[in-house]
Structure 1
């Protein structure tokens, strides 16, 4: 079986969903040949995807241009969408030619729509997997724009052309898709490690793979709290430690800390809940997917929302104390990857 997987580089959550599915599929299909197209760093892909794969370093979507992890850059996104769809029929034809030459048995997209349209033209079975789709988010952001309806129709038609859209839980309702197949949450489980902090509590700061540097250098010192931050921040706060210095995969690090500070995103929310890690989060600006994620998180994890003002000042001692005082619910089942892998394998067999 040859699977072509397209993984968007709009943050790391799409990889957090795709990797467990690809790993489960490799276990189900020992002879799996896997081709992955993504603009995510190869090291990030190989950290998560255990199965051998051929990397095609390219991207077929952009989702939205972002000011930072919390805010969409609306005008730049509008310009990019108009450019992407100016020659849409030719782009679909080119994608179909690319897929015919690659000759996969199945296309799996998370969650670009161009490969779905191209696969449809090429006669190759295609599936999407994600808690969101760009058609719904596009309609939310650009509702009322005179130029938007034809583009939205093309995006929606591409998603509808897929054999199925595997909507992971928690996910958006997606009423416009008649090929929706809801599945259980997909999230990797980590191994807890002792971090050697001599009794201090560790709070991991992870904003989901989109550039968003917090002003932690100016935060007050909180007794007994250590901040685990990305090494690229070169943080000067005396209680900050580069998360990479522990030499652990992200999911193991997430399972080993006392809390994670983040924004609403599928990967971090579901992996934190699945590994029993409490979550502090700041809402994103005008991001419709976050409501279903937040509702689910509060049912399955210790979680607390903080304001932008609280985050900017770093006065988080009271919020962390309140978070840790919450009763810990049972960790949710996160076995949707097996269901997705079986579905993909079934589609491949039917296409033989």
Structure 2
């Protein structure tokens, strides 16, 4: 058997800052597995395995620990600056030892390629271990760190190590839309990476004959309490937030029996925060979006513009959702329709990663 025929091993490292990094990368892995059915997958992240199985299926090894944390949050949109700064100080207090520990983990597992979305310690470890690596995301923590914490006394030294780690990768596959990345020298632009859900409106109408909205704020707790959520005649709300027991118009989204992507493609409106996965899945299905504006988040300008170009979308405040939801929905539905988005980025990324996975085999066969 030629070495090229042997199954390949991909190490996927995912930032556990919410669930968006895991959700974004899943369609890329599905595209890769269509090309390489015997691909072996290891996923390193503290994101719960149950969520990973929903997006990736059960066929992977889960390594449920990773140095990366992204940012420390006080809510889905509120950054705890001091806790985040302390977290990075600790990570970088002996960065060489930290990276060597992760490099040794990779040496033991012997993946052919490391894919990171987008923990930089793993990229630095891959470089130390001599394993080809590639990054994929709409953001990276170096420029986010610089944005929030760049004025701290320790920032220059930490940023230098973060930038070196990212730039050690073969490429940074910058998906569409994405934040500006002045710290990254190896950017390769690709299209939108997202799951296009199936419209299962018939399944919803069988249980809820009126309108259905999805309240989704990602994998980070939000300080929006649904106990104050206005009751609107003819509306049912599906959510991952805590459901007030006295409300029959608010239900857990998992009780509906649909995948998140299918649910997002089937509702009348999505209410959310700026987030790559929810924004892109809504735009691929043309579902209107009310979102709590996040002007301090570096991704927001690019994501807001892209969303508004591909579906009806309106930025609001959390308080206005509670006080003026009916009026906000009327304003949203009065906006003109937009052409739905496309998602060519999954194949773009799979092309790049497949070439990396097969490159070693080609070299060995020629030698």
Superposition TM-score, scaled by structure 1 size: 0.96
Conservation of the 8 A alpha-carbon contact between 2:243 and 2:251? no
Bigger CA drift: 71-80 or 240-249?
Answer: 240-249
Bigger CA drift: 268-277 or 42-51?
Answer: 42-51
Match of 1:133 in 2: 140
Conservation of the 8 A alpha-carbon contact between 1:231 and 1:243? no
Deviation at 1:147, TM superposition (A): 1.2
Match of 1:110 in 2: 117
Instruction: Give runs of aligned pairs for residues 7-86 of structure 1, distance below 5 A.
Output: 7-50=14-57, 52-86=59-93
Conservation of the 8 A alpha-carbon contact between 2:269 and 2:287? yes
Match of 1:120 in 2: 127
Conservation of the 8 A alpha-carbon contact between 2:309 and 2:339? no
Deviation at 1:126, TM superposition (A): 0.3
Match of 1:250 in 2: 260
1:189 corresponds, among 184, 196, 207, to 196
Deviation at 1:235, TM superposition (A): 4.8
State the secondary structure of the residue aligned to 1:185. coil
Is 1:291 aligned to residue 304 of structure 2? no
State the secondary structure of the residue aligned to 1:332. coil
Q: Mind listing any 5+ residue stretches in structure 1 that lack a counterpart?
A: none
Is 1:281 aligned to residue 288 of structure 2? no
CA distance in 2, matches of 1:299, 1:13: 21
Conservation of the 8 A alpha-carbon contact between 2:142 and 2:183? no
Match of 2:355 in 1: 346
State the secondary structure of the residue aligned to 1:228. strand
Is 1:6 aligned to residue 13 of structure 2? yes
Match of 2:153 in 1: 146
CA distance in 2, matches of 1:17, 1:220: 32
Deviation at 1:175, TM superposition (A): 2.5
Instruction: Give runs of aligned pairs for residues 145-184 of structure 1, distance below 5 A.
Output: 145-184=152-191
Match of 2:210 in 1: 200
Structure 1 pair 27/20, CA: closer, same or farther in 2 (3 Å)? same
Match of 2:364 in 1: none
State the secondary structure of the residue aligned to 2:265. helix
Conservation of the 8 A alpha-carbon contact between 1:277 and 1:301? yes
Conservation of the 8 A alpha-carbon contact between 1:218 and 1:237? no
Deviation at 1:176, TM superposition (A): 2.5
Conservation of the 8 A alpha-carbon contact between 2:227 and 2:244? no
CA distance in 2, matches of 1:218, 1:200: 21
Instruction: Give runs of aligned pairs for residues 182-331 of structure 1, distance below 5 A.
Output: 182-193=189-200, 194=202, 195=204, 196-230=206-240, 232-284=242-294, 286-311=296-321, 313-331=322-340
CA distance in 1, matches of 2:345, 2:57: 17
CA distance in 2, matches of 1:26, 1:93: 30
Conservation of the 8 A alpha-carbon contact between 1:71 and 1:286? no
CA distance in 1, matches of 2:356, 2:246: 52
Structure 1 pair 247/217, CA: closer, same or farther in 2 (3 Å)? same
CA distance in 2, matches of 1:249, 1:198: 17
Query: How many residues are matched?
Result: 351
Structure 1 pair 79/223, CA: closer, same or farther in 2 (3 Å)? same
CA distance in 2, matches of 1:144, 1:54: 40
State the secondary structure of the residue aligned to 2:271. strand
Superposition TM-score, scaled by structure 2 size: 0.92
Q: Mind listing any 5+ residue stretches in structure 2 that lack a counterpart?
A: 1-7, 362-367
Deviation at 1:142, TM superposition (A): 1.0
State the secondary structure of the residue aligned to 2:356. helix
Bigger CA drift: 10-19 or 218-227?
Answer: 218-227
Structure 1 pair 103/129, CA: closer, same or farther in 2 (3 Å)? same
